[in-house]
Amino acid sequence: MDKVQHFEIPVDDIARAKKFYAGVFGWGTMDFPMPGMQYVGLHTGPVDEKNMPKDSGFINGGMFQRSPKFPLTGPTIAMTVDDIDASLKKVKAAGGEVMMEKMQIADMGLYAYIKDTEGNVIGIWQNLKPSH
């Protein structure tokens, strides 16, 4: 069973959104360098030195500048999958649509956006195996 990995929120003003989410919910933020965009991690609970949740029962997320480069107009969730290519095939076979083909995010994982049969955009994420 695939699990929810994180959520994402597109925003118009990063500084204003950071202030809002920190002030309203007490969330921590962390800037992540991404090619061609500013991405801000959102910590919704305590995290370890790798920015992973210390406690069960919550997920972290991220926000980024709203842009025509990405198909998100509102908040979305991302699911962790074992094989992103196989999942993209399943999406198409089930009547869904690939909104953004897979891309590699640093050395962390592979990511794509899909649209379900109801018009919702969802991210799918495959962790990259650490190389030893």
Q: With respect to residue 85, please indicate whether it lies within any of the assigned structural domains.
A: yes
Domain that holds residue 76: 3-127
Whether 132 is covered by a domain: the verdict is no
In a domain, 115, yes or no: yes
The pairing of strands 109-115 and 121-127 is antiparallel
70: domain CATH number is: 3.10.180.10
Quick one: tokens of 109?
């994982």
32 within a domain of the structure (yes/no): yes
Of 73, 13, 55, 72, the residue nearest 38 (C-alpha) = 13
Confirm if 49 and 33 have CB atoms less than 8 A apart.
no
Based on the structure, what is the number of domains in the chain?
A: 1
CA distance 31 to 41: 6
pLDDT in tens, the chain (132 residues): 888 989 999 999 999 999 999 999 999 999 987 777 888 999 988 888 877 778 888 888 999 988 887 778 889 999 999 999 999 999 999 999 999 999 998 888 999 999 999 999 999 999 997 654
Pairing of strands 121-127, 76-80: parallel
Q: Which helix (H) or strand (E) holds 85?
A: helix 84-93
118: in domain: yes
In a domain, 73, yes or no: yes
